[in-house]
Structure 1
């Protein structure tokens, strides 16, 4: 079966997470993503995880660059810029997430590109947007978690502002980047017209907090973090993580009546309104956790689920990868490592389409691995390709 984006070509100038994860999502739907890297490769190829690389390559890079072809170009050279423009001229989409102004300095800004390809969908990701007082600031996930209010409401009452354990702003921004690229491609398909799409980390960080922002800005009420560890500042007990005899368990929404039925703590039924469960959330959590600490995790989870109480395991990544539902969903897959030929484990495909299913059809590329093939596709002869490599316009093509 064909992918939904078969026939779509994307000139991908992105780096780090916001852009590459977005373009990978489109590549999995069949788009031909040509990853245009600097000589030597994208910076994140060497970004260490805990001070280490995975067989010479960053695991972060490996997670976000499958199904792509790679070419190395010196965009600061006239010839390198011209090759990039030739690729863009035949592309449907250009994606980039440099700081505002960088692509213009390369001669690859929206107006430059539109002269060569008027129908281009030009997708820009940034930290704060292309205009405004913060355009020159560095845009990075932790900074945007802090600036958007997220860290202020994460953690316990006496904790300092606390970031979450993943690059959640980059992740959401990448999804928005892919989604809005699809909107623009749909418009291009219907009208033949391109447009510029802009996505930024600040807007993305505020966007995924839509319900919390709306509550705080419109209600005459303070939403303080709890002392005991209720997992959201604006939610009542029992919402949180509970210690068990041999681990932890998560309990989300549940009536005090149903909790009392499972635990035998009849006093919990006294908290019979939402106001009471919120005002007394710390007391409820402490009393409930005194009980859960005496219970084996599996037995407790089974008892809670039997009463239709929203509860779940607390897994580390190794446990998650072996979870029977995760296995059934095929959300952990093995892919060939670009340097060793061995396999590494990574995340699978999160959604399914019955007629145009996404597909993992190639491993992440080595830097510049497809330079010769891509230039050949664009009509360059082998001798000319070798000359460009000797002059440093493109990367080494001797392999």
Structure 2
């Protein structure tokens, strides 16, 4: 069955997370993504997790590069740039996330590519956008969590600013790239017009916090983190993580009276609605004294029975055994370049007519070099000469 993006060719000049995870989302829906890497492979291939790789390849790379074909090109060479321009001229979409100015130096900027490919959709992803006072600053997830206020409002009052435990800004920016690439394709389908699309991490970080920024900037009130760990600076108790006899549970928005009745905790029922924010630390201490005496499973079952929003706090091993994860098929097995398999995330969205599919495993660096050059009209002798000159990587094609 044809996937929604079948027939769409993407020239993918991205690296690390912001770009590659976006292009994987598009590849999962059928796009032919040509991953154009530096000779030797992009940096993410070698990024260690806890000081190690997964048998020579970064697990981060493996998580974000399925359903793509790879070619290694030396973009610093005239011949390499010309080949890259040929790919861009043949593409529906070009995606890049170099620092602003780099693609211009390579001669692969929007205006140059548009001369050869007038209806191209050119997606440029960066830290802060193509211009402005921060255009030359490094854009990286931790830096943007810090600059956007996200780290400042996470954690307990007396803790230092606390970053989220994943590259959440990169992740949101990747989703924005995938979303707005499809929007631009839809516009082109209607009008025949290509365009440039700019996505930046700083804007993505602010977009993530639309509720919180709106509250802080429009209310005559100072919000601060709670002492006891209410999970957001602007929400009432009991919203937060609670220690149990054998772990932790999360309790979201819930009427205190309902929780008090369910746990037979009259001390909690003494607080009224106005107390829920003003005395939130007291309330959390009162409730947590009770949750510490109960096991997580029993506590979750008791509170779910009265429709309190509660859940266990899992680690990744718990997640892997979760029956809903299995039901949603959110963990899948792919083939590692070493021939064995590895577990990674599946497809987070279901389509009734055109479900996403794994068509190929994450490629080795330059795995499809000869194949892709042949599609541009280069023969085997051309490939050998280009490889000998270091313009393309030797790859793994037979």
- Give the TM-score normalised by the residue count of structure 2: 0.99
1:56-205 pair list within 5 angstroms: 56-205=56-205
The whole-number CA distance in structure 2 between the counterparts of 1:263 and 1:286 is: 15
Instruction: Report the 3-state secondary structure (helix = DSSP H, G, I; strand = E; otherwise coil) of the residue aligned with 2:124.
Output: strand
2:365 touches 2:395 (CA, 8 Å); kept in 1? no
* Cα drift, residue 397 of structure 1: 4.3
- Report runs of 4+ in structure 1 exceeding 3 Å deviation: none
* Cα drift, residue 150 of structure 1: 0.6
Unaligned runs of 5+ in 1: none
Instruction: Report the 3-state secondary structure (helix = DSSP H, G, I; strand = E; otherwise coil) of the residue aligned with 2:152.
Output: helix
Instruction: Report the 3-state secondary structure (helix = DSSP H, G, I; strand = E; otherwise coil) of the residue aligned with 1:157.
Output: coil
1:386 touches 1:397 (CA, 8 Å); kept in 2? no
Matched with 2:317 is 318
The whole-number CA distance in structure 2 between the counterparts of 1:195 and 1:362 is: 30
* Cα drift, residue 263 of structure 1: 1.2
2:35 touches 2:71 (CA, 8 Å); kept in 1? yes
Matched with 1:213 is 213
What is the RMSD of the two structures over their aligned residues, measured on CA atoms? 0.8
Deviations for 1:192-251, whole angstroms, at most 9, x for unmatched residues?
110000000000000010000000000011111000111100001100111111111111
The whole-number CA distance in structure 1 between the counterparts of 2:260 and 2:86 is: 68
Matched with 1:288 is 287
* Cα drift, residue 2 of structure 1: 1.1
The whole-number CA distance in structure 2 between the counterparts of 1:381 and 1:246 is: 64
* Cα drift, residue 388 of structure 1: 0.8
Matched with 2:364 is 366
1:12 touches 1:94 (CA, 8 Å); kept in 2? yes
Instruction: Report the 3-state secondary structure (helix = DSSP H, G, I; strand = E; otherwise coil) of the residue aligned with 1:153.
Output: coil
2:267 touches 2:286 (CA, 8 Å); kept in 1? no
Matched with 1:333 is 332
The whole-number CA distance in structure 1 between the counterparts of 2:239 and 2:360 is: 42
The whole-number CA distance in structure 2 between the counterparts of 1:37 and 1:333 is: 26
Matched with 1:235 is 235
- Structure 1 residue 257 corresponds to structure 2 residue 253: no
* Cα drift, residue 334 of structure 1: 0.8
- Structure 1 residue 351 corresponds to structure 2 residue 355: no
Matched with 2:42 is 42
Instruction: Report the 3-state secondary structure (helix = DSSP H, G, I; strand = E; otherwise coil) of the residue aligned with 2:364.
Output: coil
1:74 touches 1:392 (CA, 8 Å); kept in 2? yes
- Give the TM-score normalised by the residue count of structure 1: 0.98
The whole-number CA distance in structure 2 between the counterparts of 1:150 and 1:165 is: 12
Instruction: Report the 3-state secondary structure (helix = DSSP H, G, I; strand = E; otherwise coil) of the residue aligned with 2:333.
Output: strand
Deviations for 1:291-341, whole angstroms, at most 9, x for unmatched residues?
010001111110000000000011000101110101111111110002x11
Deviations for 1:79-108, whole angstroms, at most 9, x for unmatched residues?
111111111111100000000000000000
* Cα drift, residue 268 of structure 1: 2.0
* Cα drift, residue 267 of structure 1: 2.8
Matched with 1:388 is 386
